[in-house]
Amino acid sequence: MSHDSPLIAEPFALRPREAAKYAGVCLTEVYARLRDKTYEGYTDGGKRFVTLESIKRHQQKQFEASRSSTKPARELKAGPGRPKAET
């Protein structure tokens, strides 16, 4: 029996430091999101874990909110800029 590629299972939960890397936020933000129930977490033998599903759910909500936003695109204004050097 031959396998072309290895089967990689997705973890159910991540440690806070791994969750921060996965979500692209700092560790303090992960703990803040756990505190305000944005992320679901649990402890096992004194180790804290954050469920991957709760991170994905939050990212999906953020994505949908940004897509449905009715804010107009930010206009670039031409400012005075940097003064030209005198020669």
Q: What are phi and psi of 19, to 5 degrees?
A: -60, -40
- Among candidates 1, 13, 78, which has minimal Cα distance to 49? 13
- Tens digits of per-residue pLDDT, 19-75? 999 999 999 999 999 999 999 999 999 999 999 999 999 999 999 998 886 666 666
Answer whether residue 2 shows pLDDT above 60.
Answer: no
pLDDT score, position 19 = 98
- Tell me if the pTM is above 0.75: no
Output the six-digit token pair for 36.
Answer: 């305000």
Whole-number pLDDT of residue 21:
97
Q: How confident is the model at residue 78 (pLDDT cuts 50, 70, 90)?
A: low
Give me the pLDDT at residue 84, please: 76
Residue type, 10: E
Bridge partners, residue 47, by sequence: 44
> Average pLDDT for residues 7-30, to the nearest whole number?
95
Number of H helices, E strands in the chain: 3, 3
